[in-house]
């Protein structure tokens, strides 16, 4: 293999590792129910915080709605992490390997 090509591949691998570490260190936010529930995750999908508006629970019947809202907020945040990861990593894959990261 061409030595120039090997150097390019090594640089690309180093850049990919750096980009992945930056993504993992990033903070992402998701919300649902008009921001009744907000969540905070790191790029490696570790939850850091959840905030629930006290108005979300006026009585016990609101519990099921609150649970659904939490799930929606978490899913919103996970999608943002996945979208950003795909966007950043597509620089290295040329967008040709969807779902790889």
Domains of the chain: 3-92 (3.30.1310.10)
Q: DSSP string covering 37-82, please?
A: EEEEEETTS-EEEEEE-GGG-SSTTHHHHHHHHHHHHHHHHHHHHH
pLDDT band at residue 99, thresholds of 50, 70 and 90?
low
Kindly tell me if the per-residue pLDDT of 95 is higher than 90.
no
Both tokens of residue 48?
């850091």
The pLDDT score that the predictor gives to residue 55 is 85
pLDDT tens string 57-85: 888 778 888 888 999 999 999 999 999 99
Mean pLDDT of the chain: 86
pLDDT, residue 101, reads 47
């Amino acid at each position: 293999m061409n030595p120039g090509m090997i150097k390019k591949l090594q640089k690309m691998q180093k850049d990919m590792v750096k980009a992945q570490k930056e993504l993992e260190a990033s903070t992402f936010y998701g919300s649902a129910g008009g921001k009744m529930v907000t969540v905070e995750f790191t790029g490696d999908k570790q939850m850091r915080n959840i905030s629930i508006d006290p108005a979300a629970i006026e009585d016990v019947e609101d519990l099921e709605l609150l649970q659904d809202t939490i799930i929606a907020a978490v899913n919103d945040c996970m999608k943002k992490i996945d979208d950003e990861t795909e966007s950043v990593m597509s620089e290295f894959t040329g967008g040709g390997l969807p779902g790889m990261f």
